[in-house]
Chain A
Amino acid sequence: MNQKPNVWTQVGCGDEGTASFAMDAVCDVPRIPHYLMRALLLVILLAMLAGCGERGHVYRQQAYTFGTIVDITIWGHDEAKAQQAMAAVFADLDRMHRDWHAWEPGPLYDLNQALPSGEWVKIPEPVKPLLRRARALSEKTGWLFDPGIGQLIRLWGFNDQFYNRTEPPLQAEIDAILAKHASMADLEIEDDRVRSRNPAVYLDLGGFAKGFGVDMAIARLKELGVTDAIVNAGGDLRVIGQRGARPWRIGIRHPRGQGIIASLEVAHDESVYTSGDYERFFDYQGRRYHHILDPRTGYPAQGVVAASIIHDSSAAADAASSALVVAGVAGWEAVAKAMGITQAMVIDDTGKIHMTPAMAKRIHFEVSPPPEIILSEAW
Chain B
Amino acid sequence: MRRGDVLALLLAVSILPPLYAVLWHDGRGGDYARILVGGQQRELVSLHEDRTLEVSGELGVSTLEVKEGQIRFLASPCPGQQCVHNGWIHFGGDVLTCLPNKISIAILGGEQRFDSVNF
Contacts and interface: CB of A to CB of B under 8 A. Distances in A.
Interface of A: 3-6, 8, 10, 14-15, 18-19, 22, 33, 35-36, 38-40, 42-44, 47, 51, 58, 62-64, 68-69, 71, 73, 161-164, 230, 232, 234-237, 239, 243, 248-254, 257-260, 263, 272-274, 276, 278-282, 308
15 contacts: A3-B39, A5-B39, A6-B36, A18-B22, A62-B39, A69-B39, A161-B99, A162-B100, A164-B79, A235-B119, A249-B113, A250-B116, A250-B117, A251-B91, A253-B117
Query: Considering the complex of A and B, which 4 residue pairs feature the smallest CB-CB distances, nearest first?
Result: A257-B87, A164-B79, A235-B119, A253-B119
A35 B8 CA distance: 6
Given A43-B19, A64-B39, A253-B86, A35 B4 contact: yes
A253 B117 CA distance: 7
Contacts of A63: 39
Contacts of B90: 259
B116 A71 contact: yes
Contact of A73 (B5, B113, B115): B115
Contacts of B85: 257, 278
Given A43-B16, A164-B79, A164-B80, A279 B119 contact: yes
Contacts of B39: 3-6, 62-64, 69
Contacts of A243: 115
B76 interface: no
Interface string B1-21: 000110111011001100100
Interface in B85-119: 85-91, 93-95, 97, 99-100, 102, 104, 111-119
Given A69-B97, A230-B116, A259 B89 contact: yes
A324 B41 CA distance: 37
A128 to B, nearest CB: 29
Nearest to A70: B39
Nearest to B72: A257
Given A6-B36, A64-B102, 9 more contacts: A8-B34, A40-B15, A58-B115, A63-B39, A162-B100, A249-B113, A249-B115, A254-B87, A260-B94
A68 B99 contact: yes
Nearest to A65: B39
B4 A18 contact: no
A272 B118 contact: yes
Nearest to B89: A259
B118 A36 contact: no
Contacts of B41: 6, 8
B11 A237 contact: no
Nearest to A308: B118
B61 to A, nearest CB: 17
Contacts of B60: none
A260 B23 CA distance: 21
A273 B117 CA distance: 10
B113 A259 contact: no
B87 A259 contact: yes
Given A3-B38, A18-B23, A39 B115 contact: no
Contact of B115 (A38, A230, A252): A230
B116 A161 contact: no
B82 interface: yes
Contacts of B52: none
Nearest to B98: A69
A357 B87 CA distance: 30
A162 B102 CA distance: 12
